[in-house]
Amino acid sequence: MRRGTAPSYSDAPLWLALVAGSLALYWPALRIGLLSDDFILFQHALASDVSQVAPQLFRPLPLLVWVVIVHLHGGPATLHLLNIVIHATNAYLTARVVSGWVPGRWWPGLAAILVLAAPLGPEAVAWCAGTFDLFATAFMLSAVLIARRPHTGWPDRIQLLATTIGALLSKETAVVLPLLLVIDAAVRRSVSRRWAIDTVAVASVAVAFGVLRLRSATAVEVSGFTRYRVQRLVFDSFGALAAPWHVNDPLLGVIRPLYALALIALISAFFINRGPRWQSAVSLGGSVWVVASIVPLLAFFQVGPHLEGSRYLYLATCGWAAVMVAAASDLAARMPRARIAAASVLIAFGCANAWGVGQHLKPWVRAAAMRDMVLVAASSDVRLRSCSLAYVEALPESVDGAYLFANGAREALGGAGVTAYARPGTGNCAFRWDATTHTFVPPNGSAR
């Protein structure tokens, strides 16, 4: 079967099924509310301000959507719903991309399931601020699909440039889009003069945007490409994708070894039993996609033991899904008796991943409960409310990797009727959050 053909399933039912699946997986996220950076972004939306939030953060397009939602009286639950639907859309777009790489009716759908239920997804999907990664990924995947069309007219080219600009205005890491276009064309072995012109145009826009952002973000320090840093970039990214588990998962003693053994068996069987050369190209292309998607994050990329920073691998998850599907479909094509086994392994991965999503959502739910506890205590504390300006320290920055007051504490406390800075202070208006009593106490802990 020729690669690059359209999927044989109907697009609308697949997208609707993925939306339903995304809602089922992330239903608890609808009640999480605002956390950390969300408070700052929400204040920008209330003020209809889509300008630069920080030196490294100029992402007006998602913020513009927030402005519309907020002014239509939508709240945090609507923002969470937006993330959930875009996540499902990205899973659908991944199926469309993979359908041009791997022949067959069901394999692209399995790739979509792997993306939808990726255990690394909660930080990007359940945290409202993860919307930047979701928007950028949606635009980049759309651009890849537009670029592969056999078109010659300007309407398609304008669509391609529009999605490119949309991706760049959603998150700065979208500068890797030209690399993704090259990867897609190389895997499909479909390079034409028209494609080359389009890719050069996309690259020109991305380079121009990157230069302007670097010149404006003077406060951002960029690390060099040291050998060690590149090595860590590769190992940490593939390591997190291959073992996407939260350090506190109680059942990991069972899940982790079984998951690792199944993954090793699948990849080893693929390499030992050499199949068609194009399957190797798909696996290589998916692997390069993973690395390319995080190259702009060289200076600060890291996924912590509680999956902090896992949103940086959101785009990489699409490439990883392609690697997994390519290995399974190759085994199924060359070993008919292994077809059911290969598909079953991917389905088992999907089930384990779905379980992981549920487990990894729990810290975010606990963070929301802790936020409510802090803000209720602040709003009911007469001493805090009587201060024209208070200073509060020791607020919990995160709960098992789920961001809480790492940023946005001032805006959060302002919503509770307290004007305060989240830093140490002196005098009668200086307080410390006591995690034991869940109250605000003087910095030295003694009663006034």
pLDDT tens figures, 44-79: 999 999 988 876 778 999 999 999 999 999 999 999
Specify the length of the chain in residues.
448
pLDDT the model gives residue 252? 67
Higher-confidence position of 26 and 190: 26
d(CA 221, CA 215): 12
Q: Locate all alpha helices (DSSP H) within 27-75, ordered by sequence.
A: 37-46, 60-71
d(CA 276, CA 279): 6
Residue pair 305/342 in contact by the 8 Å Cβ criterion: no
pLDDT tens figures, 123-181: 999 999 999 999 999 999 999 999 998 766 788 889 999 999 999 999 999 999 999 99
Asked if residue 226 has pLDDT above 60, the reply is yes
Least confident of 207-221, 253-267, 358-372: 207-221
- What is the DSSP track for 266-327? HHHHHHHS---HHHHHHHHHHHHHHHHHHGGGTTT----TT-TTGGGGHHHHHHHHHHHHHH
Asked if residue 348 has pLDDT above 80, the reply is yes
Residue type, 283: S
Question: Given pLDDT bands bounded at 50, 70 and 90, which one contains residue 234?
Answer: confident
pTM of the model: 0.92
For 103, counting Cβ atoms within 10 Å of its Cβ (0-12 exposed, 13-18 middle, 19+ buried), the class is: middle
pLDDT the model gives residue 4? 43
Question: Given pLDDT bands bounded at 50, 70 and 90, which one contains residue 21?
Answer: very high
Q: How far is CA 374 from CA 24, 73, 166, 409, 431, in A?
A: 29, 25, 37, 10, 13
d(CA 302, CA 152): 42
